[in-house]
Amino acid sequence: MPEKPNETVKIKSAKKMRDLMTAYYLEALSAGQNHKPVAWITSGGPVEPLVAMDIIPVYPENHGAMIGSAKMGEDLCAKAEDMGYSSDLCSYARADIACSVVKGGPIGGLPKPDMLICCNNICGTVLKWYEVQARFYNVPLFIFDTPICHGAYTPEIARYVRTQIDEYIAFLETVTQRKLDHDRMNEVGKLSLEGQRLWQKVLNTTAHKPSPMSAFDAFFFLALIVTLRGTRIAVDFYKELIEEMEQRIRDGVSSVPNERYRLLWDNLPVWHRLKWLSSKFSDHHACLVADTYTSAWCGTIKYIDENRFLDSMAEAYTRIYLNIGVDQMAEEVLNMIRFYDIDGFVMHSNRSCKPYSFGQMDIMRIVREKTGIPVLMIEADMTDPRSFSESQVETRIDAFMEIIKQRRG
Amino acid sequence: MKDIECFHDAVSHIPETASQIKKQGRKIMGYLCSYAPEELIHAAGFHPMRLFSSKSDIVLAENHLQSYCCSLVRGILEDSLNGRLDFLDGAVFPHTCDSMQRLSDIWRMNNRYAFFADVVLPAKLNTESAGIYMTEVLARFKKDLEAAIGKDIPDTEIKASISLFNRIRKNLSALYDLNSRHPGLISGRDLYALVKGSMIMDRKEAADRLANIVSHLEKMSPPVKPGKRLILSGSVCDTPDIFDAIETAGGVLVGDDLCTGQRWFEGPVMEDTPPLSAMAQRYRDRVTCPAKHSGLTTRAENLVSLVQKTRADGVVFLMLKFCDPHTFDYPYLKERLDGAGIKSMIFEMDDQQQSLAQFSTRIETFIHMI
Ligand code: SF4
Ligand code: SF4
Ligand code: SF4
Question: Element (H or E) spanning B318, and its range?
Answer: strand B314-320
- In this prediction, residues B111-125 reach a mean pLDDT of 97
Which of A180, A197, A216 is a domain's end point?
A: A180
Q: What is the pTM of this model?
A: 0.96
Residues at CB less than 6 angstroms from ligand 1 = A 61, 90, 92, 122-123, 125-126, 268, 352-353, 356
Q: How many domains is chain B built from?
A: 1
Q: Do B332 and A148 touch (CB under 8 A)?
A: no
Q: Are residues A174 and A238 in the same domain?
A: no
B289 lines ligand 2 (CB under 6 A): yes
Residue A242 placed within a domain: yes
Alpha-carbon distance A10 to nearest alpha carbon in chain B (angstroms):
38
Q: Do B328 and A357 touch (CB under 8 A)?
A: no
Residue A4 placed within a domain: no
Q: Are residues A41 and A170 in the same domain?
A: yes
pLDDT of residue B359: 94
Q: Are residues A188 and A321 in the same domain?
A: yes
Residue B117 placed within a domain: yes
Residue A216 placed within a domain: yes
Q: Does A140 touch chain B (CB under 8 A)?
A: no
pLDDT of residue A2: 44
The domain that holds B110 is classified in CATH as 3.40.50.11890
- Residue B268 is classified by DSSP as P
Q: Are residues A193 and A300 in the same domain?
A: yes
- Give the CA distances from residue A112 to residues A29, A57, B132, B312, in Å, rounded to whole numbers and listed in that order: 9, 11, 34, 39
**Ligand 1 centroid – CA A323 distance (Å):** 12
Q: Are residues A327 and A387 in the same domain?
A: yes
Residue A6 placed within a domain: no
Q: How many domains is chain A built from?
A: 2
Task: Indicate which ligand has the atom closest to the C-alpha of B259.
Answer: 2
Q: Do A88 and B140 touch (CB under 8 A)?
A: no
Q: Do B325 and A151 touch (CB under 8 A)?
A: no
Residue B86 placed within a domain: yes
Q: Are residues A247 and A293 in the same domain?
A: yes
Residue A5 placed within a domain: no
Which of A164, A180, A196 is a domain's end point?
A: A180
Alpha-carbon distance B11 to nearest alpha carbon in chain A (angstroms):
29
Residue B193 placed within a domain: no
Pocket test for ligand 3, best of B33, B103, B323, B350 (most atoms within 8 A of CB): B323
Give the number of beta-carbon pairs within 8 Å between A and B. 144
Cα dihedral A275, A276, A277, A282, rounded to 10, equals 80
Contact A376, A348 (CB under 8 A): no
pLDDT of residue A32: 87
Q: Do B331 and A163 touch (CB under 8 A)?
A: no
Q: Which domain holds residue B59?
A: 14-151
Answer yes or no: is pLDDT of B90 > 80: yes
Q: Are residues A159 and A273 in the same domain?
A: no
pLDDT of residue A7: 46
Considering only the beta carbons, identify the residue of B65, B325, B331 that sits closest to A84. B331
pLDDT of residue A4: 44
pLDDT of residue A195: 97
% of chain B at pLDDT higher than 70: 100
Taking CA atoms only, the protein residue closest to ligand 3 atom 6 is B235
Q: Are residues A203 and A171 in the same domain?
A: no
Q: Are residues A213 and A162 in the same domain?
A: no
The domain that holds A146 is classified in CATH as 3.40.50.11890
Q: Are residues A166 and A264 in the same domain?
A: no
Please report, in tens digits, the pLDDT of each residue of chain A (409 residues total). Answer: 444 444 478 999 999 999 999 999 999 999 989 999 999 999 999 999 999 999 999 999 999 999 999 999 999 999 999 999 999 999 999 999 999 999 999 999 999 999 999 999 999 999 999 999 999 999 999 999 999 999 999 999 999 999 999 999 999 999 999 999 999 999 999 999 999 999 999 999 999 999 999 999 999 999 999 999 999 999 999 999 999 999 999 999 999 999 999 999 999 999 999 999 999 999 999 999 999 999 999 999 999 999 999 999 999 999 999 999 999 999 999 999 999 999 999 999 999 999 999 999 999 999 999 999 999 999 999 999 998 999 999 999 999 999 999 998 7
Q: CB pairs under 8 A, 24+ apart, for B180-184?
A: B180/B229, B180/B254, B180/B255, B180/B310, B181/B222, B182/B222, B182/B223, B182/B226, B183/B223, B183/B226, B183/B227, B183/B229, B183/B252, B183/B253, B183/B254, B184/B222, B184/B223, B184/B225, B184/B226, B184/B227, B184/B252
Determine the residue of chain B that is closest to A135 in CA distance: B296
- In this prediction, residues B333-344 reach a mean pLDDT of 98
Residue B191 placed within a domain: no
Pocket test for ligand 2, best of B70, B95, B289, B293 (most atoms within 8 A of CB): B289
Ramachandran region, residue B47 (left: φ > 0; alpha: ψ -120 to 50; beta: rest): beta
The closest-lying atom of ligand 3 relative to the alpha carbon of residue B32 is 5
Residue B92 placed within a domain: yes
Could you give the CA distance from residue A36 to residue A27 in angstroms, rounded to a whole number? Answer: 9
Which of A180, A200, A235 is a domain's end point?
A: A180
pLDDT of residue B352: 77
Reported as a single tens digit per residue, the pLDDT across B218-262 is: 999 888 777 999 999 999 888 889 999 999 999 999 999 999 999
Q: Are residues A354 and A255 in the same domain?
A: yes
Q: Does A334 touch chain B (CB under 8 A)?
A: no
Contact B263, B289 (CB under 8 A): yes
Residues of B in contact with A130 (CB under 8 A): none
Q: Does B99 touch chain A (CB under 8 A)?
A: yes
Residue B49 placed within a domain: yes
pLDDT of residue A5: 45
pLDDT of residue B350: 87
Q: Do A125 and B98 touch (CB under 8 A)?
A: yes
A-contacting residues in B 8-67 (Cβ below 8 Å): 63-66
Q: Are residues A248 and A354 in the same domain?
A: yes
- Sequence-separated (6 or more) residues with CB below 8 Å from residue B327: A85, A86, A88, A89, B319
Could you give the CA distance from residue B65 to residue B101 in angstroms, rounded to a whole number? Answer: 12
* ipTM for the whole complex: 0.96
Contact B119, B95 (CB under 8 A): yes
Residues of A in contact with B104 (CB under 8 A): 150
Q: Which domain holds residue A97?
A: 13-180
B237 lines ligand 3 (CB under 6 A): no
**Ligand 3 centroid – CA B235 distance (Å):** 7
